[in-house]
Amino acid sequence: WLMMSLWDALRMNMMISYQELVRTFLSTWTVSYIQM
């Protein structure tokens, strides 16, 4: 049970990190595209 909860927390953390990465990438790409 403890391992499953740890895995869930890790997976959720990775999902959030992935979303942040995509958002940062998209915003940076958009700014570069607008400045071009």
Q: Which two tokens stand for residue 13?
A: 């953390």
Task: Using the predicted structure, report yes or no on whether residue 36 has a pLDDT greater than 90.
Answer: no
Average model confidence (pLDDT) for the chain? Answer: 89
24-17-13 Cα angle (round to 5): 160
Please give the pLDDT value at position 3: 78
Residue 1 binned pLDDT confidence (cut-offs 50, 70, 90): low
Question: Quick one: average pLDDT of 7-16?
Answer: 92
